[in-house]
Structure 1
Amino acid sequence: MDALTSKAEDITIEVNNAELLGKPHRKEVRNWLEKVRSIKEQVSNIEKKLKEQNKCWDGCMPNYYLRRKISKMSLKLIIQADELIADGKFESVSLEQEAVLGCTLPTTSIASKTTADVTLEEILHCILNTKIRIIGVHGMGGVGKTTIMMNINNRLIKTMDFDHIIWITVSKDVDVNKLQRKIAKKMKIDLEEGEDDDDDTKAKIFSALERRKKFLLIFDDMWDDFPLDKVGIPRPSEENGCKIVFTTRDLRVCRGMGAHEVKVKVLSDEESWELFKKNAGDVVLSTGVEELAKAVTRECCYLPLAITTVGKAMCGVNDVRVWKNALKELQQSNLEVKRMDDVFVQLKFSYNRLRNSELKSCFLYCSLYPEDHDIHSEQLIEYWICEGIIDKRETRDDNMNKGHAILDELISISMLKLVESGENYKVVRMHDLIRDMAIRITSLESPRSMINAGVQLKESLFEWPADAERISLMLNDIKVLSGQPNCHSLLTLLLQRNPLEKIIPHSYFHHMCSLRVLDLSGTRIKALPESISNLKNLRGLSLRGCKLLQEVPSLSNLEELRVLDLSCTTIRELPSGMEAMVKLQRLNLFLTKELHVFPIGIIPRLSFLEELTMCRSGWKWSSMTTEGARIEEIVNSTQLANLEIDFTDLSSFLFHVNSRNWQMMKNFRLCVGSIISPYPKPKFSVEINSCNLIGEDNSLLLPYNTRCLHINACEFISLWNVMRSLNMSELCVCRLYSCKKMEFLMADEEPLLPDLKELEMRSMGELLTLCKGIPSPDALKSLESLYVENCDKLKYLLSDRLLQLLRSLKHINVRGCDGMEEIVAEEEEKVIGKNEDKSSMTMPLSRLQTLSILELPNLRSISSRVLICNALETVFIESCPDLKKLPFCVHNLPSALKQIKVHTWDQEWWDTLEWDHPQTKAHFQSLLKFTYDI
């Protein structure tokens, strides 16, 4: 024991010294010391027993039995001690920390229940989830990705969930070879200087990681994805338990690595203030300083890096004037607050990493919009095209596609934030600090910009920079522009949404010979200066929403014009010289109600015209007119890809449809008669108003790729009769309003509308049933939403057989149908056994999410069968006084139900409802909400 104890003491000293150096000791050393302690305890017990019970028989005789027993125990301990002495020959008691278990990193702690803490817990959950192997943590620069991962690194070292944790800071342009060397250095792998044998390097890294068994690799600040096998990293799997986590500003890196994505969000308002106080100190709570300090915090835009930087810079400052100056500097985007340059450098690194000048220019263009402004993608991309940033492709459509690709790239690297997205549009926004950084770049580098957007300017008497290439004065309070600015380099001038009434003198644009983009939309301008006619390089002119503008000067010199937007103006005729604009690609005349003539011969001269928008214009296209252009000019135009026009009558519409001009269209919106529908039209839509569709001479013919059909105030027997000879496989939305003589929607077994998702029928006074006869199983197989309103002759909405064929139905909404007695009716020919109770039968509606029954005074039943609706989330009921029972039972309660809304005046009705079981009533009662608004 003396020999073993001495060895243990020596090893303990080595372990303590290693821990002082931050090096953990080996697990085998820890186990060895535990065994030594165990033997020492056993030997101590033996010695104690020998002293206490050395004699027996009142001390007359030695205790031979006990001695013999202790001898056997001692022999075993001697053997164990000899083995431990032999096993205690360790080459080293400690491990190199970075190469083995991991390295505790210096970082700021994260408070619990904050945005960062929630994200941290989400990442930890993913790391410990056996199904997720690679995790990509993404977000804008300075949002706190590295801090979160450092906290996770330190926590996992303590919990020892992994055998080894390896942290690699990647950053900037790191190719495979450089990345291998960084990994090798961390793991103390010996790579010879200048070694270029890729296979040998891969093998060394692979072998080293395999030896480390269950490892966690953390790559911080990645800018590109890479193949694991090329570096030599074993692929993480459920079997080996290994994980890879990386941080990046570029969402595309996550997708390139096939990673589970976790986004790091900016702080909340309260969290931002707490972080600022922590860094700036108690001085921020002083009288006169607190409100200024809160304003300064808001200017840091909820970005942890900026808040921390500015907070430390203002620490201990109690002079109100200094705080006011700091606030002004931040508001004016000067970024001259002490240490704020550090934030700028971080953010600018993302800009510098953009792969070409085209991307950089597109990004900087976004700063022309006001702070926190919603930027609509179509308008933004059109600016890019007209200024010439991406105008290098054959067609406008090609350029638009290129623009959307650039926009998606800027979103993916967090330079822009996606606010809203639909089928045909995107809305993005620029983070305030990112915008400040962009403004600073454009004030120092090319393209030089002067940006005073949305700052409540009332006049423009300031000096315009002669070298400015972009000037934005949008969203101000400027009423008059005067002078003759000397801006020969100016490419873009944005003046939209000012109460602008005059531009004087007429020579105002005389020194803007390079101008390519001019936006005056939403102003109160009544007349344009004559000098606008001499902007020979102008490519985009927007006068959208200039409601007082009745006349535009001659545009005969604008041969480079690509886009002319005169929508929502009161012009009475097209500008003269339009036939000279041979490069025009888009002409927007939407809602030009005073425009009653479209001159003959203009469309054929516009050989590059791809988009023509004239819905709700005073001019309607016809095949019979003698006053202006006829529909033949549209039909013969080979470049038109986007057409939105109105027709005078059905025959003119049919002339266009029969021409098959629509086959090459990327979008069309066609309307016959006066537009009544309040809905915005999706792509490939047709609206037919006030037409007689009965008889062969009036049969409706539609383009096969029509996706939305709206028929209003027409006369026809049934949709089936109108369309039975047509291939309408792409129709997704059908709306029928106030149509006379229509008794049923469909009949027989024809597969009428297999892709229809939304069916809406309003004020169909003669409608008797949706389906006459037995429908085909595929007739309405894709229908998701059914809306029926004011169809007073309908006694029931759906037969039970038809309902069971609507496999995709998610929403049922019935309102104001005075004659309706049942929502779902049993078919008359169906025989039910004498002893069979219909209320015990069930009907599964597996996808139904919303059931709305409103203002149905004679409704007696929703369904005689019990509905099984496991996806049902919401039920709305109003003014159905004869309804006595809901079609649900205790054994099949809708488990997903979140709320049942009943109108306030129906409280008494609710109290008299019948229930199959008290538990059913309790289930619905717990989710009940009485409301005035349904």
Structure 2
Amino acid sequence: MAAILMSAAANVAGKVAGYLVDPIVRQLGYLFNYRSNLDELVEQVERLGNARERLQHDVDEANRQGDDIENDVRDWLTRTEEIIQRARELIQDENAENTSCLCFNLKLGYQRSRQAKELSEDIGELQEENNFTRVSYRPPLQGIWSPRLRDCEPLVSRASILNRIMEALRNDDIRMIGVWGMGGVGKTTLANQVAKNAEEDKLFEKVVMALNISQIPNVTKIQEDIAGILGLKFEQEGELERAHRLRRSLNKHKTVLVILDDIWGELLLEKIGIPCGDAQRGCKVLLTSRSQGLLSRSMGTQINFHVQHLCEEEAWSLFKKTAGDSVEQLKSIAIKVLRECDGLPVAIVTVAKALKGESGEAVWNNALLELENSAPANIEDVDDKVYKCLQLSYDHLKSEEVKRLFLLCGMLGYGDISMDQLLKCGMGLDLFEHVSSLEQITNKLVTLVKILKDSSLLLDVENKHFFEWPGVFFGYNYENRFVRMHDVVGDVARAIAAEGPHRFVVIKEALGLEELQRKEEFRNCSRISLNCKNLHELPQRLVCPRLEFFVLNSDAESLGIPDPFFEGTELLKVLDLSNVCLTRLPSSLGFLSNLRTLRVYRCTFEDIAVIGELKKLQVLSFESCKIKRLPKEFMQLTDLRALDLWDCSDLEVIPQNVISSVSRLEHLCLVKSFTKWGAEGFGSGESNNACLSELNNLSYLKTLCIEITDPNLLSADLVFEKLTRYVISVDPEADCVVDYHNRSARTLKLWRVNKPCLVDCFSKLFKTVEDLTLFKLDYELDTKGFLQLKYLSIIRCPGIQYIVDSIHSAFPILETLFISGLQNMDAVCCGPIPEGSFGKLRSLTVKYCMRLKSFISLPREQGRDRWVNRQMGSLDLTRDFIFTGTDVPTPFFNEQVC
């Protein structure tokens, strides 16, 4: 019994001792482990800083894409920033003290060691939380209506129809509404106004629309347009899977309005993914069409609204607004011209713009005569008056160049028209006069397109998500990526093109293609656009000996081009194959000795050697094609001026001397494509790839989009100084040199490029670069030449102590500055900031710059006293700073802010 009591007492005593001793040992441990706790904290801060920086890169990219950041990501970044700041303050305090004196201040040493231990544990917990599956999401589009509506009010007659449509939308018993009227009467404008009012009045949880469905409905495009507004992103699903996902997304809203504009035939809403019938009473559908019968009989609309011609008073108001008040001086003749427009808005606007600025009565009388005597074409659902008005606008175009471009747009224009495609086809057809270089041709095309837009014969593309590559020529100018032709204007353009000397043929239905070939007008045509979704078989030969231009666009999975297909088309200059399921090019392609432009989009090839026989080829484009190697036969393309291999991600082999042999090349694009450049001095066997030095043989090269994943391949003799457009990435960690939201056509991204290569290869480009990213450079950068730089990012470059010197003005038009991880940077400028520097700066981000002390701002205007931006504060308390504004004094830093 005594032994038991003694044992129990010993256990109690041991526990009591533990309770008393363990805390003492732990507290003493803070003193004994002072240095190790501080060193551990330094390592933890470094690791957390790197993790935060990696995540911040994803956040910055998402912001550039216009996406919204997830709340938990924002919260993590905020907490991380706070704890890193606290840790750095502790480390700085420790560094500021004489460590050897801490032995005389045990209390201070204990406090700092304990804080370091606790901060390290908190950092560890934050690191464990850094496992986000995604950082952002794409918000649905806001304000889906045309921005043109924001600055104009609907006409009185249209306002009455609009009010009645809005009443029908409020009626729970009406779910299918139709709007009909002839082409050019203003149905699309009215549909946009309905969407605008429905959103502003909050009649529905969601309003979605697909505009300009046109004569050849593309279900995939309709689904993508609606999905973009919903914030739904498709991957590689088929049509049925997309419809299922779209239906589920729409059904999540109690009330939704779907607007489908300009339908030409029956659409199966279920096939698209639009809920209809009793299954979803909260979904209402508004359709516009030229045919009342289609709406009421085929689509089952419950109520239809007829959009008619404008009355004379409204027509005159629109005409005068478009042509200018000066028409009042010619009102009598102008009224007669206006009456020929028959109250149709599209006709009124085009005629008014054609005659705008013409003050001579003779010009107006001649225009009236042309309108009265013009022979209308027989175009289904296009009024004779509209045809005459658009014909007049076409006749009043100032040059044959712009007329030919207008007709070319009609050949290509069912929906959006790529400017890149226009240029490639226009080059092959010798459309552009008195210009020689591709750079001049690009500028000429932009000028001609502007003339057509000013005449209302072409339109801007609005509210568009651009998923396709915009092209090597226009890839970074949002205003010059795509254009649109009104469907009525397109009909008239094709009617004009089919007449007289043009002999252009546009085929929308593949039925009877063999029979069509037997007709003389088809056999003698010079241009054919075969834009058929139901095309499953081609004739053995295309018997069109005068053919110069051939476009084939079909999504049939089994379509092939017979080998003899092109044997009778030796004069062909432009061949455009889009969405054609091909595995091999037909052997008869070699007969096309006059071919100048070959554009192939989304095809798969095993052998393309036959292209080497096309000696006159100037433009070769294989966008989004599956090609594993370029053949040696490409060395024969000595007249080639543009080579576009965008998104040829399977391309692994470009034999040596192929690139250097096409010495006339002016534009080369290898984005999302070939990256396996060969090293210098390693044999010349077939298995060896082209070297970067071959680019030096391209003395005409002006545009270059390229990825270099190995900085060691750069050599001193590689010179890019003649480039006028370029997106060049030297980055082994990058997936792609460009994204769809690149900010400039002159972009450099340089990762660990050694100084000799930086000077020899890229220093000449520093005079023209607009978007520059420098990553992990170990030396100071001479920045006095960056006169055109707008966007600058400098990341983890320990060799940079100052960004500018005090002698040369720098960055006069810089708009965005991002600096991160410049641990040896004392100040932005070594001395006073030179006059003329940073005058346009509007966005500033600073992170992890340990030695940087303060911010100041330069004067807003010359002569104004210096104004200190106190929002920036002192960097004694913060090491990171983000500031973006549109009307702020230029912020910068080289003095302490009080």
TM-score (norm 1): 0.49
| 1:481-520 correspondence to structure 2 within 5 Å | 481-496=538-553, 498-520=555-577
> How far off its partner does 1:470 sit?
2.0
| 1:867-878 correspondence to structure 2 within 5 Å | none
- Aligned with 1:646 (options 701, 707, 711): 707
Measured against aligned partners, the alpha-carbon deviations of 1:216-254 in whole angstroms (never above 9, x if no partner) come to xx99789xxxxxxxxxxxxxxxxxxxxxxx998475976
- Aligned with 1:723 (options 782, 806, 810): 782
Structure 1 residues 337 and 804, CA gap change in structure 2 (3 angstroms):
closer
- Which 5+ residue runs of structure 2 have no aligned equivalent? 1-151, 160-183, 187-308, 340-347, 360-375, 463-473, 683-687, 863-868, 877-882
Does the 8 Å contact 1:344/1:437 carry over to 2?
yes
Q: SS state of the match for residue 555, structure 1?
A: helix
Q: Which amino acid in 1 is paired with 2:379?
A: L
Aligned length: 534
In terms of mean alpha carbon deviation, does 791-800 or 774-783 score higher?
Answer: 791-800
Aligned to 2:11: none
Measured against aligned partners, the alpha-carbon deviations of 1:462-505 in whole angstroms (never above 9, x if no partner) come to 63422232222347254554532322222222124624544243
Does the 8 Å contact 2:663/2:697 carry over to 1?
no
Aligned to 2:888: 848
1:451 matches 2:499:
no
Structure 1 residues 509 and 740, CA gap change in structure 2 (3 angstroms):
same
Q: Which amino acid in 2 is paired with 1:437?
A: V
Structure 1 residues 708 and 649, CA gap change in structure 2 (3 angstroms):
farther
Aligned to 1:463: 516
- Cα distance in structure 2, aligned partners of 1:426 and 1:116: 32
> How far off its partner does 1:564 sit?
0.6
- Cα distance in structure 1, aligned partners of 2:597 and 2:581: 19
Q: Which amino acid in 2 is paired with 1:380?
A: L
Aligned to 2:751: 689
Structure 1 residues 542 and 153, CA gap change in structure 2 (3 angstroms):
closer
Identity over aligned pairs, percent: 19
Q: SS state of the match for residue 428, structure 1?
A: strand
1:524 matches 2:566:
no
Does the 8 Å contact 1:146/1:247 carry over to 2?
no
| 1:299-698 correspondence to structure 2 within 5 Å | 334-335=378-379, 340-371=383-414, 373-390=415-432, 393-419=435-461, 422=477, 425-452=480-507, 463-464=516-517, 465-474=522-531, 476-496=533-553, 498-546=555-603, 548-619=604-675, 624-626=680-682, 627-647=688-708, 649-650=710-711, 652-653=713-714, 655=716, 659=719, 662-674=720-732, 675-676=734-735, 678=739, 679-680=741-742, 682-691=744-753
Q: Which amino acid in 1 is paired with 2:744?
A: P
> How far off its partner does 1:776 sit?
0.6
Structure 1 residues 475 and 247, CA gap change in structure 2 (3 angstroms):
closer
- Cα distance in structure 1, aligned partners of 2:390 and 2:486: 11
- Cα distance in structure 2, aligned partners of 1:247 and 1:474: 29
Does the 8 Å contact 1:516/1:539 carry over to 2?
yes
Q: SS state of the match for residue 349, structure 1?
A: helix
Measured against aligned partners, the alpha-carbon deviations of 1:256-301 in whole angstroms (never above 9, x if no partner) come to 99xxxxxxxxxxxxxxxxxxxxxxxxxxxxxxxxxxxxxxxxxxxx
> How far off its partner does 1:351 sit?
1.9
Q: SS state of the match for residue 544, structure 2?
A: coil
Aligned to 1:115: 154
Aligned to 2:101: none
- Cα distance in structure 2, aligned partners of 1:536 and 1:694: 46
Does the 8 Å contact 1:480/1:500 carry over to 2?
no
Does the 8 Å contact 2:351/2:389 carry over to 1?
no
Q: Which amino acid in 2 is paired with 1:407?
A: V
Aligned to 1:703: 765
Q: SS state of the match for residue 461, structure 2?
A: strand
- Cα distance in structure 1, aligned partners of 2:706 and 2:584: 27
Q: Which amino acid in 1 is paired with 2:386?
A: V
- Cα distance in structure 2, aligned partners of 1:365 and 1:145: 34
In terms of mean alpha carbon deviation, does 666-675 or 615-624 score higher?
Answer: 615-624
Does the 8 Å contact 1:689/1:714 carry over to 2?
yes
Structure 1 residues 256 and 615, CA gap change in structure 2 (3 angstroms):
farther
Structure 1 residues 742 and 452, CA gap change in structure 2 (3 angstroms):
farther
Structure 1 residues 710 and 337, CA gap change in structure 2 (3 angstroms):
closer
- Computed over aligned residues only, the root mean square deviation of the Cα atoms, in angstroms, reads 5.1
Q: SS state of the match for residue 655, structure 1?
A: coil
> How far off its partner does 1:144 sit?
7.2
> How far off its partner does 1:541 sit?
0.7
Measured against aligned partners, the alpha-carbon deviations of 1:383-402 in whole angstroms (never above 9, x if no partner) come to 12212333664333333333
- Cα distance in structure 1, aligned partners of 2:610 and 2:754: 43
Does the 8 Å contact 1:797/1:823 carry over to 2?
no
Task: Report 1 or 2 for greater relative contact order, CA contacts < 8 Å, sequence distance ≥ 6.
Answer: 2
Measured against aligned partners, the alpha-carbon deviations of 1:414-456 in whole angstroms (never above 9, x if no partner) come to 2212336937725321122211212222333332233245x7x
Does the 8 Å contact 2:802/2:830 carry over to 1?
no
> How far off its partner does 1:554 sit?
1.8
- Which 5+ residue runs of structure 1 have no aligned equivalent? 1-112, 121-139, 156-160, 172-217, 223-245, 258-329, 808-820, 829-842, 852-862, 866-934
- Cα distance in structure 1, aligned partners of 2:714 and 2:419: 32
> How far off its partner does 1:618 sit?
2.5
Q: SS state of the match for residue 556, structure 1?
A: helix
- Cα distance in structure 1, aligned partners of 2:781 and 2:595: 48
Measured against aligned partners, the alpha-carbon deviations of 1:710-767 in whole angstroms (never above 9, x if no partner) come to 43652436xxx2124x522222221234x25367662652546323433353763848
> How far off its partner does 1:690 sit?
4.4
Q: SS state of the match for residue 566, structure 1?
A: strand
| 1:795-806 correspondence to structure 2 within 5 Å | 799-800=855-856, 802=857
| 1:187-266 correspondence to structure 2 within 5 Å | 249=351
> How far off its partner does 1:381 sit?
2.6
| 1:729-744 correspondence to structure 2 within 5 Å | 729-737=787-795, 739=796, 741=798
Structure 1 residues 693 and 347, CA gap change in structure 2 (3 angstroms):
same
Does the 8 Å contact 2:859/2:889 carry over to 1?
no
Does the 8 Å contact 1:671/1:686 carry over to 2?
yes
Q: Which amino acid in 2 is paired with 1:411?
A: K
- Cα distance in structure 2, aligned partners of 1:787 and 1:250: 47
- Cα distance in structure 1, aligned partners of 2:641 and 2:585: 23
Aligned to 1:786: 843
Does the 8 Å contact 1:611/1:643 carry over to 2?
yes
Q: Which amino acid in 2 is paired with 1:443?
A: A
- Cα distance in structure 2, aligned partners of 1:403 and 1:698: 35
- Cα distance in structure 1, aligned partners of 2:412 and 2:858: 51
Structure 1 residues 601 and 694, CA gap change in structure 2 (3 angstroms):
closer
Q: SS state of the match for residue 543, structure 1?
A: strand
Larger-Rg structure: 1
TM-score (norm 2): 0.50
In terms of mean alpha carbon deviation, does 671-680 or 527-536 score higher?
Answer: 671-680
Q: Which amino acid in 2 is paired with 1:665?
A: L
Q: Which amino acid in 1 is paired with 2:598?
A: L
Q: Which amino acid in 1 is paired with 2:786?
A: M
